[in-house]
Amino acid sequence: MSIEIDLARRPCLVVGGAGGGIGTAMALAAARAGAVVGVLTNLEEHAADTRALLGNAGTTCATAVVDVTDEAALVAAIAELASTLGPFRHLVNVVGGNLADDYHRTAELDMVSFDRVVARNLRYAMVSCREVAARLIADELTGSIVNVSSKAARGTPLLASYSAAKSGLEAASRAMALEWGPAGIRVNLVSVGTVRTPRTGEDDQPEVAAMIPLRRRGEPDEVANAAMFLLSDLASYVTGHTLDVDGAVGFGQPGGDQVSRFSRRADVRARFADPGAD
């Protein structure tokens, strides 16, 4: 007997579902699972590319271009897409990561940078989760949410802001699971390591792969597959859970061959810790 992920033509919103990386993989995976897909992105060219991809996959798709750190604009964009597709039964929050100026020694932390990182990784997700869940509760509909976290939530040098934001996202998601469980809304996370995307680089990066027990970087589709499981009814009794999709790097460095001499370099460690999740 085969087991298939089926989102049963239910509307699914992917925040950050464009750009060719994890978000695009999420949107395509949701389409293949039968969902009606809404995508929020910050660039019209990315929105057009995603509409074309999902159209070729044979799914109904609607997109909106928005700065997700602008609360009013984000709320309006979600409402706009919901008016076209219907209330979202599924939500995936993908936007995240750091800008080049957001790597700091904590003793020299710039709070403008801190606020920017929190807005990009935690604050917007709180808004989108609130908006989707509030509509579901009002309409007495069940649903599921997946937030994308990172191994950095456990703490990573030079990334105290990012670590705090992702740790906060994990804690907030567990609180949501507790609050919204009685309404039939499940909230889970996927925690990713380093993934090959256009933003983080699609080369093998052997100095990074040497630190991963599976000896390779992840693929966007591997993250999307895990998220689709958590969204679907196959995970109907799973909520408040963080699923690691990181090649086991969260457990430590691999045994066997000697770890690459580059593994102690601060710049490599910082790059390795940022999954580039959008």
Q: Which residues are catalytic?
A: 162
Buried b / exposed e along 254-265 (16+ C-beta atoms within 10 A): beeeeebebeee
Buried b / exposed e along 68-101 (16+ C-beta atoms within 10 A): bbeeeebeebbeebbeebbbbbbbbbbbbbbeee
Buried b / exposed e along 47-63 (16+ C-beta atoms within 10 A): bebbbebbeeeebebbb
Q: Which residue has the tokens 């589709």?
A: 221
In sign, the C-alpha dihedral spanning 122, 127, 130, 133 is negative
